Amino acid sequence: MLDAKGNLYGTTNYGGAYGAGIVFELTSSGAEKILHSFNVDGTDGFYPEAGLLLDTKGNLYGTTVEGGAFGVDGTVFKLTPTKKGWTETIVHSFGATGDGGQPYAVLTLDTAGNLYGTAFYGGAYSQGTVFELTSSGTEKILWSFGNGMDGANPIAGVARDTKGNLYGTTEYGGAHGYGTVFELTSSGTEKILWSFRNGTDGANPIAGVVLGKTGNIYGTTSNGGAYGSGTVFKVTLSGRETILHRNRTLADKTRSAYALSM
């Protein structure tokens, strides 16, 4: 994450004072500062996999895939800048009954200060959720994956349009079991825009989507395609897919799988 002064903020999955990951700042001159070291003891989260979100007040938000009040299901955390350094607050601990678990992706923020994200496991069918968190930490499950031909196990986050609709991918599930592109309306209705077949259309998207100016959705798959190494795709809101690129090599696959940030 880049701020207005050119400072970069990010996370590492391991390392730090307790070996469980850090949040760091890099100045424009290349000087590093450790803002927080995650601790496997207590209720702190640990092992952050995703990037960070910066709000207009300078607070940083992120996720950890483990830790929290319930031990192994992860957290949403907030880092607040103070005169003495940065203070961490756990906004939400995953693991309650019916809750999601193990959020791998970066969060999305609306103008009211609400956070949106996905959890890889948990929910009503144990195959992941889309959640909303208010600024005070109240959680609402917007969707539980795994019901019928629905998607399953979202590893990437969601993109939000100006109407409040959310768009994302699931790594598995759908009509053919190889993942989906989904739309979740502001009223809570889910629509599967595309179910991957593991043919030339691709399979198993593990990165998020980008919303185009004309309403098209762009993303990548980690498998499938004409050469079996993944694709770059476009999906319309009416549910039509176009393959923009088919990866030919393992190097192509590695670049494309993570090209559209998680």
| Domain ranges across the chain | 1-144, 159-262
Task: Give pLDDT tens digits for 13-31.
Answer: 999 999 999 999 999 999 9
Q: Does residue 117 have a pLDDT over 70? A: yes
Q: Which residues contact 42 (CB under 8 A, 6 or more apart)?
A: none
| pLDDT > 70 in the chain, percent | 95
Q: Does residue 230 have a pLDDT over 80? A: yes
Read off the tokens for 34. 């450790």
Mean pLDDT of all residues in 228-256: 83
> Rounded to an integer, what distance in angstroms lies between the CA atom of residue 36 and that of residue 15?
11
- pLDDT-based confidence at 253, cuts 50/70/90? low
Task: Give pLDDT tens digits for 171-216.
Answer: 999 999 999 999 999 888 999 999 999 999 999 999 999 999 999 9
**Residue 167: per-residue pLDDT:** 98
Tell me how far CA of residue 184 lies from CA of 77, 139, 146, 161, 223, in angstroms.
Answer: 24, 17, 15, 11, 24
- Torsion angle, alpha carbons of 56, 84, 66, 116, to 10: -10
**Residue 97: per-residue pLDDT:** 80
> Rounded to an integer, what distance in angstroms lies between the CA atom of residue 129 and that of residue 118?
6
Mean pLDDT of all residues in 87-106: 93
- Global pTM value: 0.92
**Residue 71: per-residue pLDDT:** 86
CB 141 within 8 A of CB 95: no
Tell me how far CA of residue 65 lies from CA of 47, 58, 60, 97, 261, in angstroms.
Answer: 6, 23, 17, 17, 17
DSSP symbols for 84-107? TEEEEEEEEE--STT-EE---S--
CB 100 within 8 A of CB 119: yes
Q: Which fold has domain 1-144?
A: Neuraminidase (2.120.10)
**Residue 262: per-residue pLDDT:** 43
- pLDDT-based confidence at 247, cuts 50/70/90? confident
Q: Does residue 62 have a pLDDT over 50? A: yes
**Residue 256: per-residue pLDDT:** 52
Write down the residue that tokens 């696959």 correspond to: 253
